[in-house]
Every structure is written in C-alpha cells, then in structure tokens.
C-alpha cells in the first residue's frame, strides 16, 4: 500500500522521494514521458552556496556534503569552476561568497583574456563549482529505486481529493496515500488548487540560455557575469553556455527562448568582451519559480494535514536539493528540521507555507 505520493520528477521530487523511501512505500508521479524534462534539465549547473535568498544558504552549504561524497553516483559531481564578476563604469560590486576578492582590470584579463578594457574591476571567487545535474538527478533515482520506490511517467495528476486518505486521479487511475508531496515546480500552485487548497502565489520566471563555439583555451575560464546581472557565460565542454540572466514572469509552461532575448544577450556579451559571437549552436529556456518573498516553500500546508509543499526553488533548486530533500523527509517524519540544519541556523518559519496565508 502506498504511504507517500510525490508529484514531480524534477530534482526536488526525486531527492525528496529518495529520502522518504528509506522509511515508507513511495510512488513518484511525473506528467512528462521523461523525468527532469522541465527546469531541472535546463539548468546552468553551478554550485554557488552564497547565491540566492539568505534563508536558503544553510541548505546550499549543507548540500555540499552529498556533492562531495555522492552515494549512488559512480563519478564526482563537482568540478572546479569559479565565478568572475565584472564591474563596468556605473556599476557597483556586491561580493557574494566568502572567498570573494576585489581584483584590478589587469588581473581580470589575466583570468579571462577577452574581457573589454573598459572593465573597472572584478570580483574573483575561486570556490563555486560546476555541478553535474544529470549525475545528481540520476544518483537520487538510483537511491530511490534501491529503496523500493516506484516511478510512473506520463502520469499527470488531474484531481486530488481528501477522504480518510488522499486520493489522486492519474490519467483515469486512482492512487491513494497518507501523504502527498507537491514538488511540481512551476505547477505547484496548480497542484495545490487541484486539492482545493489556497495558492501560495508562486511566480515562474523565464531564463534564456544558448550555446556558442568556445575559443581555444577557454575551458578553464570561470563563470563570467557583470555586477548588474545582465548576462553570463561559462564553459560547457567544448562550448560556451551563455544567458541573458533574464527573469521574465511566465505562466507554467514548456518554456521556449525568444529570439529577442538571445539577440540581447549576444549584444551584451559582445560589448563586454572581444568574443564576437555571431552564431548560436542551440538555445533553450527554463522556468525558475519563486515565492513572492524569494524564499522557498517547504512544509505542511496549514489547512491540509499530510499535504506537503516542496516548491519555490528559484535559481537554486539543484544546489539545495540534497538538504531540501532531507528537510522535507524529516518534516514528514517528525515535523521538525534535521538537527544538522537547525545547528546550521536554518529558520523553518522562513520556509513555512503558512507565511502566505
Ligand atoms: C537557465 C537556468 C539556469 C539555472 N541554473 C541553476 C544553477 O546553476 N544552480 C541551481 O541550483 N539551480 C539552477 N537553476 C534552477 C533549477 O533548475 C531549479 O530550481 C530546479 O530545477 C527546480 O526543480 P523542480 O524539481 O522544483 O522543478 P522541475 O524540474 O520543473 O520539476 C517539476 C516537475 O513536476 C512535473 N509536474 C508538474 N505538474 C504535474 C502534475 N500535475 N502531475 C505530475 N507531474 C507534474 C513537471 O512535469 C516537472 O517535471 C537554473 C534554472 C534555469 C532555467
């Protein structure tokens, strides 16, 4: 008999499902034919613990332990990258990470030779790492399956009712469970509405990305962005991944890149560097879904026992997944955060769905 149903097969759903399956019979439902089809499969893949809303920093730092010793992965998930923030005239520098150093224009171009000589300064952070998103997602799928979990794809939840137990309609079939975990990404408010619950007011925001040919010797460059967050680029194999760093509000959908956003990003990167980008090899867009206060939504719905939210991951859902998955599982188990996260200063109230009611 199913104890817990997890809705959503992105990184949030699979990480939570893997930890929940250590104690319970868990079924994971994914609407698409492949897991990680939406935001998770479209990420930039950076582990940058000082980035994002301050309330989630304890999750980012605590997740490092899993990334460094990934169970159920046969290869390391982290590799060196670094972040270089360019400061151009009229911009001010806001260092993010603990390892941040202010450097002069010559040092900036010593790290990334193509940066324009109009740059006034740089912030160099060696610590941020590349994170293997597919490897992380697969590690949690393996962990989940090893614990006996069941994954159903092409399994869109279309109705949720509450009787003695939760009863979900999935393409004509019914599944019952004591606990529902709403890890539906951009659709998490829609899933709550299916259960007759109030929305928390999530805002999906589109971000555009594309690949271009990488110049020789660029494979060791860090992620490069400007301090106004108007673009970024970073090596990705033999290519450079580029982005407008846009945050355009969107409906939950299969996000598509807009030509104008790709063109704008190329113009900004070409102004800031001598890369001279003329053509794009591939392009895509993904949704980064935020709560109105920028924090995440993790916890039991105040008006529905056994309905748990795991949503609002914004731009940090990959780098927080191990700790967020463990937090969700412990909240289902005991109603409290794991002691390690409490000791790290996690403020559970900053995650509570009740803060929006
Ligand atoms: C360009 C870009 C760069 C990014 N860079 C980073 C980064 O460097 N580091 C980082 O940590 N994060 C990054 N992110 C953010 C990260 O990708 C997200 O925070 C994360 O993927 C969210 O995961 P999720 O599982 O919540 O959502 P998703 O991956 O979208 O998964 C939700 C799933 O729920 C399913 N679903 C929805 N409704 C239903 C239903 N009714 N029934 C069944 N299934 C349903 C969907 O089909 C979907 O597969 C980036 C995002 C983008 C777009």
Q: Please check whether residue 312 is in contact with residue 290, taking contact to mean a CB–CB distance below 8 angstroms.
A: yes
Give the phi and the psi of residue 143 in degrees, each rounded to 5: -60, -40
pLDDT of residue 99: 83
Which two tokens mark 8?
């959503």
Give the phi and the psi of residue 77 in degrees, each rounded to 5: -95, -20
End-to-end CA distance of the chain: 33
Q: Please check whether residue 211 is in contact with residue 175, taking contact to mean a CB–CB distance below 8 angstroms.
A: no
Contact residues for 229 (Cβ-Cβ < 8 A; gap 6+): 245
pLDDT of residue 112: 98
320 by DSSP, 3-state: which?
Answer: coil
Q: Is the CB of 184 under 6 A from ligand 1?
A: yes
User: Would you give the distance in Å from CA 224 to the centre of its chain?
Assistant: 19
Q: Is the CB of 321 under 6 A from ligand 1?
A: no
pLDDT of residue 95: 66
Which two tokens mark 176?
């019952």
Paired sense of beta strands 46-47 and 129-131, if any: antiparallel
Ligand 1, atom 2, lies closest to the CA of 43
Listed in sequence order, the DSSP H helices in 54-132 are 57-68, 105-111
> Which string of DSSP letters, residue by residue, matches 292-309?
TTSS-EEEE-TTSTTEEE
Closest CA to 111 of 95, 96, 122: 122
Listed in sequence order, the DSSP H helices in the chain are 11-20, 57-68, 105-111, 133-146, 188-194, 259-272, 321-334, 339-343
Task: Kindly state the DSSP code that residue 305 receives in the 8-state scheme.
Answer: T
Q: Is the CB of 205 under 6 A from ligand 1?
A: no
pLDDT of residue 121: 96
Which two tokens mark 331?
């909240």
Angstrom distances, CA of residue 228 to CA of 108, 213, 313: 17, 25, 22
Q: From the alpha carbon of 319, which atom of ligand 1 is closest? A: 11
Give the residue, out of 312, 318, 320, with the most ligand 1 atoms within 8 A of its beta carbon, to mutate for a pocket test: 318
Q: Is the CB of 250 under 6 A from ligand 1?
A: no
C-beta neighbour count of 34 within 10 angstroms = 11
pLDDT of residue 257: 98
pLDDT of residue 93: 78
Q: Is the CB of 12 under 6 A from ligand 1?
A: yes
Distance CA 223, CA 38 (A): 23
Specify the CATH number of the domain 83-127+203-290. Answer: 3.30.9.10
User: Would you give the distance in Å from CA 167 to the centre of its chain?
Assistant: 29
pLDDT of residue 90: 93
Which two tokens mark 280?
């794009």
Looking at domain 4-73+132-200+292-356, its CATH architecture is 3-Layer(bba) Sandwich (3.50)
Q: Please check whether residue 283 is in contact with residue 262, taking contact to mean a CB–CB distance below 8 angstroms.
A: yes
Ligand 1, atom 50, lies closest to the CA of 43
Q: Is the CB of 182 under 6 A from ligand 1?
A: no
> Which string of DSSP letters, residue by residue, matches 15-46?
HHHHHHTTTS-EEEE-SSSSTT-SGGGG---E
List the chain pLDDT tens, one digit each, 357 residues: 999 999 999 999 999 999 999 999 999 999 999 999 999 999 999 999 999 999 999 999 999 999 999 989 999 999 999 999 999 999 987 766 678 999 999 999 999 999 999 999 999 999 999 999 999 999 999 999 999 999 999 999 999 999 999 999 998 899 999 999 999 999 999 999 999 999 999 999 999 999 999 999 999 999 999 999 999 999 999 999 999 999 999 999 999 999 999 999 999 999 999 999 999 999 999 999 999 999 999 999 999 999 999 999 999 999 999 999 999 999 999 999 999 999 999 999 999 999 998
Domains of the chain, by residue range, sit at 4-73+132-200+292-356, 83-127+203-290
């Amino acid at each position: 008999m199913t104890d817990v149903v997890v809705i959503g097969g992105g990184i949030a759903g699979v990480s939570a499902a893997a930890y929940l399956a250590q104690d319970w019979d868990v079924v994971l439902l994914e609407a698409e034919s492949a897991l990680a089809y939406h935001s998770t499969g479209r990420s930039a893949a950076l582990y940058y613990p000082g980035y994002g809303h301050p309330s989630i920093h304890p999750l980012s730092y605590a997740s490092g332990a899993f990334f460094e010793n990934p169970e159920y992965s046969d290869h390391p998930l982290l590799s060196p990258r670094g972040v270089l923030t360019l400061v151009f005239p009229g911009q001010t520098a806001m260092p993010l990470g603990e390892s941040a150093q202010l450097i002069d224009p010559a040092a900036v171009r010593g790290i990334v030779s193509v940066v324009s000589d109009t740059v006034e300064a740089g912030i160099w952070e060696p610590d941020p790492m590349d994170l293997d998103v597919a490897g992380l997602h697969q590690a949690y799928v393996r962990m989940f399956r090893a614990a006996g979990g069941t994954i159903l794809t092409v399994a869109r939840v279309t109705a949720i009712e509450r009787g003695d137990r939760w009863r979900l309609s999935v393409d004509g079939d019914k599944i019952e469970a004591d606990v529902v975990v709403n890890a539906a990404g951009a659709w998490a408010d829609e899933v709550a509405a299916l259960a007759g619950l109030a929305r928390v007011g999530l805002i999906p925001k589109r971000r555009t990305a594309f690949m271009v040919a990488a110049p020789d010797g660029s494979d060791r460059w860090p992620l490069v962005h400007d301090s106004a967050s108007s673009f970024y680029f970073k090596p990705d194999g033999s290519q450079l991944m580029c982005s407008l760093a846009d945050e355009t509000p969107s409906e939950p959908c299969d996000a598509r890149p807009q030509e104008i956003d790709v063109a704008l990003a190329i113009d900004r990167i070409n102004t800031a560097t001598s890369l001279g980008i003329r053509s794009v090899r591939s392009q895509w867009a993904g949704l980064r879904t935020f709560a109105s206060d920028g924090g995440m939504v993790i916890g039991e719905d105040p008006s529905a026992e056994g309905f748990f939210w795991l949503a609002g991951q914004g731009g940090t859902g990959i780098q927080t997944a191990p700790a967020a998955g463990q937090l969700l599982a412990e909240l289902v188990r005991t109603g409290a955060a794991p002691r390690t996260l409490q000791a790290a200063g996690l403020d559970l109230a900053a995650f509570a769905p009740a803060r929006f009611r």
